[in-house]
Amino acid sequence: MSLTFNSIDYLVLVLYAVALFYIGFRFSKKEKNQQDIFLGGRSLKWWQIGFSIFGANAGPTMLIGFASIGFSHGIVGSNFELLAWIFLMLLAMVFLPYYLKTKISTIPQFLLLRFGKRSYNFLIVYSLISILVVWLGSALYAGGLLISGVFGCRLFPAIVVIAVVATSFTAIGGLKAVVRTGIFQSVIIIVSSIILTFLGFQKIGSMDTLMSQTPESYWKLFLPATNPEYSWIGIVLGYPVVAIYYWCADQTIVQKVLAAKDLKEGQYGALFIGALKIIMPIIFILPGIMCFVLFRDTAADNAYITMIKQLMPHGLLGLSIAALIASLVDTVSSSLNSFCTVFTLDVVQQFKMLNTGQQRRMGRWVTVLVGLAGIGIAMLFSYSGKSFFDLTQGLVSILAPPLAVVFLWGVIWRGINGIAAEVVLYGGGLACLLLGICHVLNYPYQGYWPHFLMLSFYIFVVLSVVIVTVSLLTRSTGNSEVPTLFDRKEGEMKQQPRAVWLTWLGLAIVMIMIYIYFN
């Protein structure tokens, strides 16, 4: 899979690296208070939030993984993008008003205010493990595989280089650096992917030619229930469980909207990334389908790299690799900053109160140390014997259900209490861990467990019954003064900008039309 570069490609890569470090480091001199390294002084505007979330979300898993799904299954993978707007709306219009009103800096602080200290401590550990393993470790591993394959080097040096680059400006510049570099890298990713899609169309000739040379099922968003990997039932029932956790309760994603200048900017930021979801299947999944037509003998996991290698002229080839590196660095830097934020503000502050300077220094040292830990976890993944995508899917299915249940029910019904939340978090978390391990290891035998999306749904239903039942049978503990979906005061609802709701409605109409057309 190694590529042949010329001087123009290397020049593009060098210019990318110079621009990245300049944008990242120039903000290290503009810190005004302790929140700058964690929440950018709560000053981000909607377009900064949207591009930053896009950069963190559009990691190497999306670029390579979606092309692979497009190559082997068609547009069915688009569901993971097109359905995300529902949960981004949930984040913007239900979760975010409370998050900003209470001035929380981390997601665990939500559980502290809503359910008490024990739930708070659980989510601290849960968040740190999630960031370290699911975000940082897997991103470094995927990036190591990518860089080592492209440049023909060994895996370990590739992982180290990525970690050093991302850690350097993250530790010094904090969230402002992560956001500004994320904007820069998002533009590179989008431009590079659009060019690749255009060149693919140019090679094939027309959309009619593309459709005539692919199976009819490649152009269906919903596949039959008998499909073993991406049945419509699994997507409709299982995807929301993962999506609630990912978009509404994951520190790496939510931290961007927590740093919003105000509620309106945060809501428009979520709306902006929701609108960007419309183009993502076109620029990420369609190249995989084109690869199936043009280079059918290639492996599905190599579809994106094959398209770049075969279609991109020199110069644009360097830009494409820069886009892959950009997606990788942005995911790693976002993970590092999120871990640093939770650890410094939620763990250290419980044992010792730090002043402004101490918090900054602590945050920087934690960023460096967790970068080293991420390198170790990435190397452990390389000895697992499983593919990268199997690993990440299994990890997400393990972590999602308990948090999805507690956060969703916590904003829907005031009656959910701290005892019920603790039962679901601690008991459900342990059960999910055991079930997830058995699922990944195919114990007691292969085929025993349902697809990971359906497994997540079943666990979600069971834990939902548990949290409601325990709440009804126990005395209320925790803070009931929390805005919910159904009982907010009329004045609070009027504070929600009407234009935001109307824009969400417009986005919903567009998405519905897409689903009608492709089914």
> Quick check: is 18 in a domain?
no
User: For position 34, what pLDDT does the model report?
Assistant: 44
Reported in sequence order, the residue ranges of 250-317 that DSSP labels E, i.e. its strands, are none
Segment among 47-56, 91-100, 139-148, 371-380 with least mean pLDDT: 139-148
> Quick check: is 147 in a domain?
yes
Range of the domain at 258: 38-485
Q: Give the Cα-Cα-Cα angle 434, 225, 390 (nearest 5 degrees).
A: 40
Q: Give the Cα-Cα-Cα angle 214, 218, 219 (nearest 5 degrees).
A: 110
> Quick check: is 25 in a domain?
no
Collapsing DSSP to helix, strand or coil, 97 comes out as helix
Q: How far apart are CA 154 and CA 148, in angstroms?
A: 6
> Quick check: is 82 in a domain?
yes
User: For position 213, what pLDDT does the model report?
Assistant: 93
Confidence of residue 479 (pLDDT cuts 50, 70, 90): low
User: For position 144, what pLDDT does the model report?
Assistant: 79
User: For position 131, what pLDDT does the model report?
Assistant: 78
Q: How far apart are CA 280 and CA 190, in angstroms?
A: 9
CA dihedral 310, 316, 322, 324 (to 10 degrees): -40
- Per-residue pLDDT at 39 exceeds 60: no
Tell which residue, 441, 418, 446, 47, has the closest CA to residue 256. 47
Average pLDDT for 97-121: 81
Give the predicted TM-score (pTM) of the model.
Answer: 0.80
User: For position 389, what pLDDT does the model report?
Assistant: 57
Collapsing DSSP to helix, strand or coil, 223 comes out as strand
Average pLDDT for 434-438: 77
Question: What is the overall mean pLDDT for the chain?
Answer: 80
> Quick check: is 437 in a domain?
yes
Q: Which two tokens stand for residue 127?
A: 């968040």
- Per-residue pLDDT at 492 exceeds 70: no
User: For position 182, what pLDDT does the model report?
Assistant: 67
User: For position 441, what pLDDT does the model report?
Assistant: 67
Reported in sequence order, the residue ranges of 56-105 that DSSP labels E, i.e. its strands, are none
- Per-residue pLDDT at 415 exceeds 50: yes
> Quick check: is 336 in a domain?
yes
Outline where 58-107 has alpha helix (H): 60-73, 79-82, 84-90, 96-101
Structural domain count of the chain: 1
For residue range 176-205, list pLDDT tens digits in order: 555 666 677 778 888 888 999 999 999 998
Q: What are 223's strand-pairing partners?
A: 231
For residue range 157-174, list pLDDT tens digits in order: 888 887 877 776 565 555
Confidence of residue 422 (pLDDT cuts 50, 70, 90): very high
Domain CATH number, residue 74 = 1.20.1730.10
User: For position 2, what pLDDT does the model report?
Assistant: 59
Collapsing DSSP to helix, strand or coil, 231 comes out as strand
Q: Which two tokens stand for residue 304?
A: 């994106």
CA dist 462 → 114, 232, 298, 391, 402 (Å): 22, 21, 42, 24, 10
> Quick check: is 4 in a domain?
no
Q: How far apart are CA 291 and CA 309, in angstroms?
A: 11
> Quick check: is 500 in a domain?
no
**Is 147 or 289 the better-scoring residue by pLDDT?**
289
User: For position 301, what pLDDT does the model report?
Assistant: 75
User: For position 37, what pLDDT does the model report?
Assistant: 47
